[in-house]
Structure 1
Amino acid sequence: MLIRDARDSDLPAITAIYAHWVTHGRASFELDPPDLAEMTRRRATVQAGGYPYLVAEHAGQVLGYAYASLYRARPAYRFTVENSVYVRPGEARQGAGRALLDELVTRCTASGFRLMIAVIGDSANTASIRLHGAAGFQHAGLLPGTGWKHGQWVDTVLMTRELGAGRGTPPG
């Protein structure tokens, strides 16, 4: 498996992966899957901000994708990133999610970020919660009933992982 920067040619596969989870899952609180043009715009925004946008590839196929992005717009949050990881249906527990998340952590640490936040849709999303826990994230909170999707209220789980020196020292 190869973890690499996402390319323009990956965007149809990325769009299809995300569309599946928007349509069939509760990890994303979007109700309608964005089209290729919108996913292209979103990737460009992430990359323009200097954040990594990665894919896991095996045998020429995109198995999943991940990116880091701005957590909040106010300047005091500038050392904090939020992560997103999505794996193609049928590829769960094959290592793509973990490899993507590990590389995201590595790159964000090298860029000087101090905290990564996982905002996980659905407290029943045990796959994502386990993935983040295995990668060193700690449970930071539960926001009950923050979204309404597929006919039910859905919680948001917050998990965090310190990067580099974390909060142990002032940023450089």
Structure 2
Amino acid sequence: MTVTLRTATTADCAQIAEIYQHYVEHTVITFDYVSPSAQDWDHKRAGIIDRRRPFLVAVEDTTVLGFAYLAEFRTKQAFDWTTEDTIYLRPDATGRGLGSTLLRALLTDLDPTSVRRIVAVIAVIESDASIALHERAGFVDAGTLRRVGFKHDRWVDCVFMQYDVPEA
């Protein structure tokens, strides 16, 4: 079957919530302790799209295999041109290059008049796949915050990586 990338819809939010719930419950790559509902995801999706930022899904047949979006980095107005990227894949859909595909699409679909920088905040775990993914896309190391998250009985470091959007 063919994988299609498209803008996420309300109808996708139940599957988005299901994908994310796995990472909330079983990993430290998100610092959420409670998984947002499908309605929460729909509210987030609508807000991101209203700001002219991409919120994409990778779909095969009717199954959402993964999602990615550019959200607000910080709430202070001076950060309005800086976003934070998020990418999650259904656990059985990893290893197919979908993370790279979604990240490339985010970089292609963004509006360079409203997004100048993208920050990746990556929990340091045994696998460095997310760091490698971002390096391949042109992100550079912007520093590490040590032991800033506590989840599943362990302290977790976060690597910050940054991408500068080319001038339009």
Q: Normalized against structure 1, the TM-score is what?
A: 0.89
One-letter amino acid of the counterpart of residue 48, structure 2? V
CA offsets, 1:56-111, max 9 Å, x none? 11232211000001112222222211100001102112011111111111122545
Distance 1:138 1:4 in 2: 27
Where does residue 88 of structure 2 map in the other structure? 86
Count, aligned residues: 166
Greater Cα offset, 66-75 or 145-154: 66-75
Distance 1:5 1:156 in 2: 28
Where does residue 54 of structure 2 map in the other structure? 52
Closer, same or farther in 2 for the Cα pair 1:140/1:123, shift >3 Å? farther
Secondary structure at the aligned position of 2:88 is classed as strand
- Cα deviation for residue 156 of structure 1 reads 1.0
Structure 1 unmatched ranges of 5 or more: 166-171
Distance 2:29 2:127 in 1: 7
Structure 2 unmatched ranges of 5 or more: none
In structure 2, which of residues 26, 29, 39 is the aligned counterpart of residue 27 of structure 1?
A: 29
Where does residue 155 of structure 2 map in the other structure? 153
One-letter amino acid of the counterpart of residue 137, structure 1? F
Distance 1:64 1:111 in 2: 27
Where does residue 11 of structure 2 map in the other structure? 9
CA offsets, 1:37-69, max 9 Å, x none? 222222222222221110011232211000001
- Cα deviation for residue 119 of structure 1 reads 0.8
CA RMSD of aligned residues (A): 1.6
Distance 2:112 2:58 in 1: 20
Where does residue 42 of structure 1 map in the other structure? 44
One-letter amino acid of the counterpart of residue 142, structure 1? T
Distance 1:112 1:124 in 2: 35
Distance 1:46 1:121 in 2: 23
- Cα deviation for residue 159 of structure 1 reads 0.6
Where does residue 162 of structure 1 map in the other structure? 164
One-letter amino acid of the counterpart of residue 27, structure 2? G
Q: Normalized against structure 2, the TM-score is what?
A: 0.91
Greater Cα offset, 143-152 or 90-99: 90-99
Distance 2:111 2:48 in 1: 17
Structure 1 segments (4+ residues) deviating >6 Å: none
Where does residue 119 of structure 1 map in the other structure? 121
Distance 2:32 2:53 in 1: 22
